[in-house]
Structure 1
C-alpha cells in the first residue's frame, strides 16, 4: 500500500517540480566567473570536488580555504549571467554570491591591473533611445527616472522594475548594493593583499592595488571607446564596466541573497594608451582577481 501511495504521489507531482529539486543541500558560497581563464585560476584552489551539469552549465562544489563553495561560469553577457545565476539558486543552496573576473577600467584614477570591488552595480544600457526632434533628442514622456540621468546623445539611461518576495508591487531601481558585511571583509583583505605585477615576461606599468568602493556598471557591450568611457565616468562615477555583474546583482537582490564582485582591470575600456590591452593582460588580471577572492573566502567567518 505504501508503494502504491508513493507511486500515486509521484504521478500527481508535476514533472517540473521533480526536475527542479535541489542537487546539493549544503549551504555554499557561489563563486561565479564569466569565462574560462577566470574559472581556471579559481579552480586550482578548490579541493574535494564534486560536479554536476545542468542545462549545459558545469557546477563544481568543493572546499576553498576550508569553506564550502560552488563554482560555475556565468557565460559572457547580461542574459547568460542572469540565467545561470538563477539556475544555481534554484538547484543549489546558496548563502552568498561572489563574482570574480576581469573588467574595463572607467575611472581615470585607476590603471590596468587594479582590482576593484564596487559598493554597487547598475545597468547603463537599460535605456530609452530617443527620437530626433530637430533640436536634439526627445525621449518618450513618462519613461525616464526623476531626476533623470545625463544622456549620451540619443541614449537616456533609466532604472529597471524588480519583483521580490515581501513586496506587492515591483520596485524601480538603478543601483543594486553589494552586501555591507561582505564589503567590510573585502576592505580588511585589501589592506593585506599584494597583487602580482608580472606574469613571466609581461608586467603591468605599475604595481596594481585593490580598491574597495565606488560604482560598477554593466551592459551588453564590450566597451572600447574613449568618448563613451568619459561619459560613463561623468554620468555614473563608475570605476569599472563589464558585461555581467549588474545582472547577477539584480538576480541576487530579487532572491534576497548577499553578493559582492571583484573585478580586475584587464584594459581601460577605450582609455588605453594604444590598442586595447585586454588580450595581453586578461590572464594575469584573472589570476589577481582569483587571488583576492581566495583570500576573501579565507577571511569569511565559518
Structure 2
C-alpha cells in the first residue's frame, strides 16, 4: 500500500514539474511574432521602408521623422528587426535588410508576405558612376539593372550577335599588346524575371527593372529641394548638392572601387549609381505586383578618385540627404497611396 502511494506521489510530482516547465517555456501569446503581426496589420495598410546598413539607418532615425508605434514598436523575424510607426501620420514599416542581393531579396519578400504593404520605398547610399553628378547628390532611379550576371567565355570565344555588353580583360593589358590575358572575357546576360502575372515556372528575359511610373512622377516634384552641403562647420562639399529624378542604376554583389570598371559600366549601361541591393528589391516588388521607388545618395566616386574613397568622409551626409528626400516623398504621397500606382 505504501509503495503504491509513493508511486502515485512521484507521478503527481512529475506531472506538476512538466506543467510548470511547459508554462515557463512558452512565450506569452501577446509576445509571439504571429500575434504582433496580426495586431499590426489591423492598423494598415503600410508603406514599406528598406535601408541596407547602419549608417543609413542612423541617418534615417536622426531626422526624427519616424514616430514608433507605442504599443508594438517592432517584431524580430529571421534576425531582422521590423519597426512599426508613422511618418507624417502615415503608417510605415521599416527594416534594415543587410548588405548584398540575397539579404535584400529575402527581407523584401518577407515584408510583402507577412505585412499589409501597399508598396516599398528603398533608400540608401551608392557609388557614383556619372561624371555629371557629384558626391552628396541624391538620385531617384527610373530603372535598375542587375549588372552582376555574366557568362565567362574562353579566351577566343565567339560573342553572340545580340550580346549587350562584354568585358575583354585583354583590352587592359599593360603594356598594350602584351601577351594574351588568359582570363579571357565575360559577356553580360539578362536576368530571368518571374511574375505573378505570368504562368508558373515561366519567365521573361529582363535587363531593366522599371520603377513604378506614378511614384516616379510624384518624385519629380521634389527636384530643386535643398539638400545639406556640410557634414559640420569645417567640412563641406565644394558645391550645392542636387536631387535628380529619372536616371539609371546598377546592382551587383560587387563593391565598385575601380576607375576602369566604373567607366565600363557607365559607357555600356549609362548607369549613374552602383550598389549591392537595389535590383533585388525592385525585382522582388515587381514580381509580387507591388509598387517600388528607389532613392540613393551618392557617397563616393566608385574608384575614380585619387587616394582614399570619400565614403568615410561624406557617406553620412549622403545618407542624411537621402533620408530627408524619403521623408518628403512620403509626405507628398496621397492618403489613398494604395491606389497610387
Q: TM-score range by the shorter chain?
A: 0.7 to 0.9
Question: What is the CA-CA distance between 1:39 and the residue it aligns to?
Answer: 1.2
| Paired position in structure 2 for 1:198 | 230
Asked whether the equivalents of residues 20 and 90 of structure 1 are also in contact (C-alpha less than 8 Å), the reply is no
Is 1:152 matched up with 2:183? no
Is 1:46 matched up with 2:72? no
CA distance in 2, matches of 1:20, 1:234: 51
CA distance in 1, matches of 2:79, 2:125: 23
| Paired position in structure 1 for 2:274 | 241
Asked whether the equivalents of residues 82 and 251 of structure 1 are also in contact (C-alpha less than 8 Å), the reply is yes
5 Å matches for 1:109-120? 109-120=132-143
Question: What is the CA-CA distance between 1:22 and the residue it aligns to?
Answer: 5.1
Classify 1:90/1:21 alpha carbon distance in 2 versus 1 (closer, same or farther; 3 Å).
farther
CA distance in 1, matches of 2:80, 2:57: 13
| Paired position in structure 2 for 1:11 | none
2:208 aligned to 172, 175, 180, which one? Answer: 175
TM-score normalised per structure 1: 0.87
CA distance in 2, matches of 1:166, 1:271: 42
1:254 aligned to 280, 287, 295, which one? Answer: 287
* Structure 2: segments with no counterpart, 5+ residues: 1-32, 169-184, 336-341
CA distance in 2, matches of 1:104, 1:31: 21
Asked whether the equivalents of residues 20 and 91 of structure 1 are also in contact (C-alpha less than 8 Å), the reply is no
* Structure 1: segments with no counterpart, 5+ residues: 1-17
Give the RMSD, CA atoms, in angstroms.
Answer: 1.8
CA distance in 2, matches of 1:166, 1:283: 40
Question: What is the CA-CA distance between 1:91 and the residue it aligns to?
Answer: 1.2
Is 1:32 matched up with 2:50? yes
TM-score normalised per structure 2: 0.77
Question: What is the CA-CA distance between 1:295 and the residue it aligns to?
Answer: 0.6
CA distance in 1, matches of 2:306, 2:135: 11
* Bigger fraction of residues in strand: 1
| Paired position in structure 2 for 1:85 | 108
Greater Rg over alpha carbons, structure:
2
CA distance in 1, matches of 2:120, 2:260: 33
Asked whether the equivalents of residues 96 and 259 of structure 1 are also in contact (C-alpha less than 8 Å), the reply is yes
Is 1:229 matched up with 2:262? yes
Asked whether the equivalents of residues 100 and 293 of structure 1 are also in contact (C-alpha less than 8 Å), the reply is yes
Asked whether the equivalents of residues 227 and 241 of structure 2 are also in contact (C-alpha less than 8 Å), the reply is yes
The count of residues paired between Structure 1 and Structure 2 equals: 276
CA distance in 2, matches of 1:247, 1:185: 23
Question: What is the CA-CA distance between 1:147 and the residue it aligns to?
Answer: 2.8
Question: What is the CA-CA distance between 1:152 and the residue it aligns to?
Answer: 1.2
CA distance in 1, matches of 2:238, 2:113: 43
Question: What is the CA-CA distance between 1:123 and the residue it aligns to?
Answer: 0.5
1:292 aligned to 310, 325, 339, which one? Answer: 325
Is 1:125 matched up with 2:157? no
Deviations 1:209-259 (A, max 9, x none): 001112100000110000001100011000111010011011011101111
Classify 1:21/1:255 alpha carbon distance in 2 versus 1 (closer, same or farther; 3 Å).
farther
Asked whether the equivalents of residues 118 and 215 of structure 1 are also in contact (C-alpha less than 8 Å), the reply is yes
Asked whether the equivalents of residues 231 and 314 of structure 2 are also in contact (C-alpha less than 8 Å), the reply is no
CA distance in 1, matches of 2:322, 2:89: 19
Asked whether the equivalents of residues 76 and 243 of structure 1 are also in contact (C-alpha less than 8 Å), the reply is yes
